Amino acid sequence: MTILTEAVARLLLAPSLMVAAAILIKGYVDVGDGFAAAVVVSLAIALQYLAFGARRAEQELPVLRFAPQTAIVGLLVALSSGFFAVISGGAPFTHEPSVGARVVRIGRLELMTAVSFDFGIFLLIAGALVALIHHLAEPPELEPDLEEDAEAAR
């Protein structure tokens, strides 16, 4: 890739992540949600992969290594915000705090189960997509014992 793409990729990373954060936080009052924010994040990462190549991108952003774990954590967050009510005998996806109750706010962000569920989806999709990009960036070497295993299974 040319110097120009590299420079643009480097410049775009922080703003794209900012946009993703905005989409995620504003999701409940404006266009966008956790899913869209996660796709924006993965696009920003994909741009880094395209501009620098897999190895350099991962050297510069070692945090990418934790993408699979992020996805799993996201799944757990989403599951627990959806199903924690079941433990106490409620229906799945019971809204907490319930309708009309006071909600804790941080600025305009309101803390409730639907929002944490959305956040879990953000983590899940972002992690899964980044892991996918990582694996597609370097084609797998064909491992010979793979076929052996298939034989053995038969």
Partner 1 sequence: MPQQTSPPARVATRDPLAWAVALVALGAFAGCIALWRTGGGTIDVSWARELDLRLHFSFDGIGALYGLLATGIGAAVFAYATAYVPLHLDHQARPARDRWRFWPWMALFMLSMVGLATAQDLILLFVLFDVTAVCSYFLIAFDRQERASRLAALMALLVTGGGAVAMLIGAVILYADHGTFSIPELASLLRTQDEAGGIATGTTVAIGLIAAAALIKSAQVPLHFWLPRAMAAPTPVSAYLHSAAMVAAGVLVIGRVFQLVEVAPVVQDGMLAIGLLSIAVGGALSLTRDGFKQVLAYSTISQYGYVVMLYGIGGRDGATAAAFYVVAHAIAKSALFLTAGTVTMAAGCRRLSTVGGLARELPVLAVASALAAATLSALPLTIGFFKDELFFRAAAEHSTLLGVVSVLAAGLTFAYTWRFWGGIFLGERRVGGAADDAAAAAKPLAPVPALLTAPIAVLAVLAVLGGIVVGPFAELASDAAGATLGHDVQLQLAYHLDARETWMAALAWLLGGLLLATPKAWGPAARALSRAGERFGPSHVYELSLSAVNRWSDRLHDVEVRDLRSRVAAVLLPGGILVALGFAATPTAGVFQIGSIDGTDLLVVALLALVAIAAGVVAFTHQHIAIVLALAVVGLGLATVYALLGAPDVALVAMLVETVVTLVFLAIVAYAPRGERPSRRELAGVASEPQRRHTHSRRWRDPLIGVVAGAAAFLVIWGALSRPTPAERVVDELVRLTPAAHGRDVVTVILADFRGLDTMVEVTVIGVAVFGVIALLRRGRTW
Q: Which residues bind partner 1 (CB under 8 A)?
A: 27-36, 39-40, 42-43, 46, 50, 65, 67-68, 71, 75, 78-79, 82, 86-87, 89, 91-93, 95, 99-100, 103, 110, 112, 114-115, 117-118, 121, 124-125, 128-129, 131-137, 139-140, 143, 146, 152-154
Q: Which of residues 14 and 97 has its CB atom nearest to partner 1 in the complex?
A: 97
Task: Tell me the closest approach of the beta carbon of residue 62 to partner 1, in angstroms.
Answer: 12
Task: Tell me the closest approach of the beta carbon of residue 72 to partner 1, in angstroms.
Answer: 8
User: Rounded CA gap, 5 and 10, in Å?
Assistant: 8
End-to-end CA separation in angstroms for the chain: 46
Q: Which of residues 4 and 152 has its CB atom nearest to partner 1 in the complex?
A: 152
CB neighbours of residue 12 within 10 Å:
16
Beta strands 104-106 and 109-111 are antiparallel
Over the Cα atoms of the chain, what is R_g? 20
Task: Tell me the closest approach of the beta carbon of residue 15 to partner 1, in angstroms.
Answer: 16
Name the 3-class secondary structure at 140. coil
Which tokens in the block code for residue 150? 């298939």
Task: Tell me the closest approach of the beta carbon of residue 76 to partner 1, in angstroms.
Answer: 11
